[in-house]
Structures are given as C-alpha cells and as structure tokens.
Chain A
C-alpha cells in the first residue's frame, strides 16, 4: 500500500512522518479513511484509540459507550445509516459484544465497519489470555493483523475499502506490543467520504425468519474472500535461499526478522480467511517452516488441516504470553538469554498499588477490619486483594462482583460484600443488581464512585458528568438507579472520611436486605485533582509519639526518617487528610497551618 502523501511535503519531496503509538496510528488511519462515527469502551491495550480520536480528530465523532456491546450496536446502526464506523475494544470486550458481532455479518454493512480487537498476551492488564482470531473465524469475517505502527495506519484505511467491497464487518486484531509500541508513520490527509444512503430492507435488517435466506450469502462472501486472500495486498513474501522458512503474522514478524535474518518469510497480513494455496506453495520451497504467532496456533492448525506437514509451531514456541526475539532464539536453540541477577541478592517484587491519596484505601481498610467475604470486580480495586489489605476474595470479569456475591451468599456466606467501580457498574453492574434485589439477596454493594474509569488512565463515563471530549454531559444518578432497582438502603459517603466509611459499611453489612454504599471522591489521576493547588501535610516531630498509626494508612508519600519519625513527601502528598485523621496526637497538620504556629 502506497502511503497517501501530504501535498505540502510533496514539494519538499519528503512524506510527513510522525512518531506514533500503534493505537495512535490506528486512530490516524481511521481519520484519514473518513470515519464519521467511532465508539468503544476503555480497556488495555485499546484505550488510546478513542482517546486519540477525541484529542486530535473530533471529526470522527468519537464516544465512550456504556460497554462494548452498546458500542458495537451503535456502530451497526451508524453503518447501516451510511457512516464509516470504527469500534474499539480489548479482547474480553468482544465477549461482551459477541451477541451483536455474531449476527451483524448476516446483514452486512452499508458504510464501512471496522472493529479493533486488542488482545493482551502476557496479561499485562487483563484477567485472561484469549486469541480473538477464533471469534473472527466463528463470525466469518475477514481479520487483518498489522505488524508495525505504519501498517496500523495503512491497514485501517484499507480495511474500510475491504469492508465496503465485500459488504462485511472487518476485524483488525492487535496485540499488546503492537498497540503499545511507537514507530515512525507516514501520514496523509483525510479523505472525505460521502455518506451512503440507507435503504430500509426488512429481509436484510429486521425479520429473523429471513436470516435463513441470508445464511448462504455469508458462505458465498467467505468464499469470495478466500479467493481474495490468495493475492491480497496485506501479505509480505520474502523468499531467500535458506532451507528455513517462516510463516508469521502481527508483531511476531519483527521478532522473526531479528532472530532469523536469513530465513524466507511469509508474513500474513490477513489471517482470516487464510490463503491455502499461497501457504502450500511457500512451504514447498523450504525444508522446514516455522509458524510463529502470538496466541493460539491459529494459522498452524489451518495449515495442518490443509495437509501441510513440514511445519513446526506451538510445540517449539508455546502458546502462553508474548513472543520476543529472545524467546524465538531460545526455542530454536540459537542462544540463551540472560536471566535477572539474583544470586546472593534479593530481587524484591514491586507490585502496583493504590496511588498516593487514592480514595479506595479507606474502603479496603474497613473491609479488612470487618472480616467479610468480598467479591471484587475489574478496576484498580483488584489491588485490594494484595497486601496490606488482602480484603478481596474473588475477581473474575466485568460486573461479576454482584452475581458472585449472590452465589456466595446462597452457599452460606452470611456477610457478603460486592465491590465495584462506577464505570464498571455502568458497564455491567446494573442487570445483576436488579437480579439480586429481585431474587431476595441481602448483599451489600459498595460502588467506588471516583467519577472516572481509573485503571485505564481516567476516561469519562455516563456517571461522570463528562463526555469523551471533556464537555459536560448528563450524569447518571447512581443513588436513583439503585433505588429504582429496589434497594431501600442507599448511603453516600465521602471516601476520605475514614471513620464514616467504616461505620457506613458496617451498618450496611448488618442491615437485613440489600444495601448499597456509594463511596464518593474523585480519582487522583483526574486533572482537577492532579493539578490542584493545595498545601501538603507535614509531621510536627515534637508532637509525634512514634505510634506508627500513620504508617498503617499505607500511603506511599509517608516515609520514615533515620530517627524513626514519619516524613511526608511534600511533592507527593495530595492532602487527602487520612493520615491526619488517624494521628492520635494531632502531630500531622497542613503545612500552611504549621507556618502560623
């Protein structure tokens, strides 16, 4: 694919190149392709796509949707209505959107429809690994896999043409290193695409009995795509005189070029449908062909099913975690990679923890004290399971805290607390709360309301009062929606008021019937908290009795002096006041106040 060159730079005879993250390049490609509707839900490693669209390319009309299914459905409507649509999600997001995803290919698109599945091998920020190419195959849609940031941009642009040419949604699959690596990208101008006309067609869009008529069309389309795959422009063929050949896709291509510079390579840019003839011809030229992919042996299994047998894949390279040049070299016995230095010295782990000033601390301190069974959810608060709190006993998937709590309660755990963030509650917490009340549960639900989606870097949501562009937006009434579900005992508490938090949670746990506690306080990653001009707290050593109560707040800003006094790092302190609340001798005061004294 020739990059579209900026006319101005044509004069300078040099294309415009930017250092872009894979995700930023995807956003750039979508903008250049003339996207006029974009939706997603934050999730690592996909979040920066919608964020970049909002920041740099608002013409694409981006939004954060309540969840991935809603995003996908909004995208379907926009596509049928004639717009070019980008929908983004992390791998597990497609589980949520799968209902919509599986049915859309029957109808097909009107305006081009491309969705990003950002897989996370290595589980850097995920609860599982899953190779979503199997979804693409199951849904019978084409899958594209770029190998660097440039191709992230190029493939997205081409994917829209492919979508409209074959009348199908197109999946673009990335993995963590592709999404989160930066590379130089040649960019071009935006193409303005005419909105297509929406022609109502009940046979295509609305009446389920007609789906039987659409079913053969799905197969016909797939067959046409199979033919297309044999000669499509997404593949790279690099023949050499070596006896070794490699079939690969995605970021693994880069690792192959590092570890096996002499090998012949077939890099597949389109990994569904797969080109049987191309693969067979390639493998016929080499003695041994390695199949290197991130995730499951998706290409390898296809090759075996087509009778190609001179291949080696997962048995050498494994299926768990990310690939890397070092891992390939080790698998092929081309060299050992050094391990960390740990002989005679302790390599302490450094697990992530709550930020300085984070409002979740008081809640987990209370839960630890109350010794209740806690079912957690997806967000920063999974760290409540780690020391020093160890006060979260299950975490599975988005919204699971509430259903799991109902089940644990049925299994005989009397005092069960479900804990969920505000964004996750909006995403998948409302139906299970309705169900809990309806089926007579007596659970306590804690909603950690920090007005943002924290773990992915502070994205707004329906209960935050802001939209993706940072503008004011209607704010979901969390108290109202819990009451509407039938919860009579709903209490809102300031999350930094330590005693009040403990007292409120205890009352809710002892209450007969379902209860909700909303612990409110903005995430410290939000700009209004981060750049707030407040004086920090400090310790007056003369008043300190070294009782260590403040250390038990586990605040990273509280250090220990050589004489064993607490010392509050002024440039880290967020003035959350919690350490001052626990100090029995009032030795912790605002710096300004201290000056007066």
Chain B
C-alpha cells in the first residue's frame, strides 16, 4: 500500500483536538507508518478556531493537508465542521461531526447567525457526513470533555490502524487517572458509528 492518509482535526481551542490528533499520530507510529503532523501554536489556542493536520503512510513528505484531499475531517464542533469541510476528498472522504455548538463569544450577534444547519448543508453538497452526539455520549460516561476521544473512536472505524495500536497509544499518552474513562469513550465512539452503519 503506497497510499498516504490525510486527516484534518478541527475544533475550538480548549476542546482537545490537538490531543486526539496526537493520539492518532502515535497510533500510526505504533502501526509502523511514517507520520507527520502539524499544528498552529500561540494566540489561536485561546478559544479560537484550531486545526491540526495528520498524514501517515509508507513515506510522507508534506505535513500539510491540502483542501480536497483529506480522507477524513474530524470536527469537534458544527461551525468548525463547516469551516474545514472543503479539506475532505469529495468522492472518497468522510466528515465526522460532533453535534455540538459553541457560539463564538467575541462576535456580536453570533447566536443569531450561527449556522445551526451546517450538517444538513454539507450533506446537501453531496458530502459523506457522519454526525454523532459525542459531547452527550461523553457526558453520559461522566465527563463531557472526553467528546474528543469519542470522536477518534468513531474515526477508528475508517482507518487501517489496528485496535491494539489505538489501545497502546491511549495507554501511553493519557494520564492513568483519565485512562479508564477515555477507553470507554473510545469504545462508545466506535459503537456509535457501527450502529449507524455509516
């Protein structure tokens, strides 16, 4: 297999999109792939829109994902799904969306012009969108902050990365006191997509 997989993780600063991108990269390393990841640090981490690119395959050159080539866009929030949807490969890619809304606090009147219907809109464009209530699933498991890990559980159904590599990445990267809950969050994300049959 010569294919290089391109993934785009999007979210709002503080949601943990960088962490799940890193977990995916570590998983790909464990699975024996060459991996590159890129992220933007600094002021955008302060509640702004955050993007992280991950690419893995036998040999990866660019760490940057080009619009139109991503095998998956993983959006932790509905507006960010819209912002980064054009990165997905319109024929073969999937957009995973957490059905969760964060209204931009520093934009006047944002609540009135927020694109609540972004998922339907993207489906209307003929894109393959898998929407799941990751924040609610995580809250039901005891901590809404684990929505990010629910999302990679869902993502894992579409990547050629073995279950054991994911497990190893979660176990090595997460602090032990959060591990148990996150393993359950990961499994719940996987299950949510299986159920949908997406």
Residues 237-259 of A, flagged 1 when their CB comes within 8 A of B and 0 if not, give 00000000000000100110110
A180-B41 contact given A325-B62, A341-B125, A345-B118, CB 8 Å threshold? yes
CB–CB A349/B104 < 8 A: yes
Say which residue of B35, B67, B105, B110 sits within 8 Å of A339 (CB atoms).
B67
Say which residue of A355, A556, A571 sits within 8 Å of B144 (CB atoms).
A571
List which B97-149 residues lie within 8 A (CB) of chain A.
104-108, 110-111, 113-115, 117-118, 121-122, 125, 143-145
Q: How many interface residues does B have (CB within 8 Å)?
A: 57
A349-B107 contact given A19-B35, A181-B38, CB 8 Å threshold? yes
A352-B121 contact given A183-B63, A254-B62, CB 8 Å threshold? no
Q: Cβ of B82: which chain A residues have Cβ within 8 Å of it? A: 340-341, 345, 347
CB–CB A351/B107 < 8 A: yes
- Asked whether B168 is an interface residue with its Cβ less than 8 Å from the other chain, the reply is no
Residues 35-61 of B, flagged 1 when their CB comes within 8 A of A and 0 if not, give 111111111111111000000000011
CB–CB A347/B115 < 8 A: yes
CB–CB B106/A44 < 8 A: no
CB–CB A353/B66 < 8 A: no
Distance in angstroms between the alpha carbons of A44 and B46 in the assembled complex: 14
CB–CB A353/B106 < 8 A: yes
CB–CB B106/A254 < 8 A: no
CB–CB A556/B105 < 8 A: yes
Q: Cβ of A184: which chain B residues have Cβ within 8 Å of it? A: 29, 34-35
Distance in angstroms between the alpha carbons of A457 and B45 in the assembled complex: 9
Q: Identify whether the interface residues of B are mostly helix, strand, loop, or mixed.
A: mixed
A257-B115 contact given A338-B86, A340-B85, CB 8 Å threshold? no
Q: Cβ of A554: which chain B residues have Cβ within 8 Å of it? A: 105-106
- Asked whether A411 is an interface residue with its Cβ less than 8 Å from the other chain, the reply is no
List which A450-509 residues lie within 8 A (CB) of chain B.
455-457
Name, among A255, A339, A353, A380, the residue most crowded by chain B CB atoms within 10 Å (CB to CB).
A353
Pick the interface stretch among A201-209, A381-389, A532-540: A381-389
Q: Identify whether the interface residues of A are mostly helix, strand, loop, or mixed.
A: loop
Q: Cβ of B43: which chain A residues have Cβ within 8 Å of it? A: 44, 124-125, 352, 380, 382-383, 455
Distance in angstroms between the alpha carbons of A217 and B82 in the assembled complex: 59
CB–CB B122/A341 < 8 A: yes
List which A214-255 residues lie within 8 A (CB) of chain B.
251, 254-255
Q: Cβ of A255: which chain B residues have Cβ within 8 Å of it? A: 61-62, 64
**In the complex, residue of chain B having the shortest beta-carbon distance to the beta carbon of A23:** B41
**In the complex, residue of chain B having the shortest beta-carbon distance to the beta carbon of A324:** B64
- Asked whether B181 is an interface residue with its Cβ less than 8 Å from the other chain, the reply is no
- Asked whether B26 is an interface residue with its Cβ less than 8 Å from the other chain, the reply is yes
- Asked whether B68 is an interface residue with its Cβ less than 8 Å from the other chain, the reply is yes
Q: Cβ of A339: which chain B residues have Cβ within 8 Å of it? A: 67, 86
Interchain residue pairs with CB less than 8 A apart (28): A124-B40, A124-B41, A124-B42, A180-B40, A181-B37, A182-B22, A183-B60, A184-B29, A184-B35, A251-B63, A254-B63, A257-B61, A325-B62, A341-B85, A341-B125, A345-B115, A345-B121, A348-B104, A348-B113, A350-B83, A351-B104, A352-B44, A353-B47, A383-B46, A388-B106, A457-B45, A556-B47, A571-B144
Residues in chain B within 8 A of chain A (CB atoms): 12-13, 22, 25-26, 29, 34-49, 60-64, 66-68, 79-80, 82-87, 90, 104-108, 110-111, 113-115, 117-118, 121-122, 125, 143-145
Residues in chain A within 8 A of chain B (CB atoms): 17, 19, 44-45, 47-48, 124-125, 148, 176-177, 180-184, 251, 254-255, 257-258, 324-326, 329, 337-341, 344-355, 380, 382-383, 386-388, 455-457, 554, 556, 560, 571
Nearest 3 CB-CB pairings of A with B: A125-B42, A352-B48, A44-B42
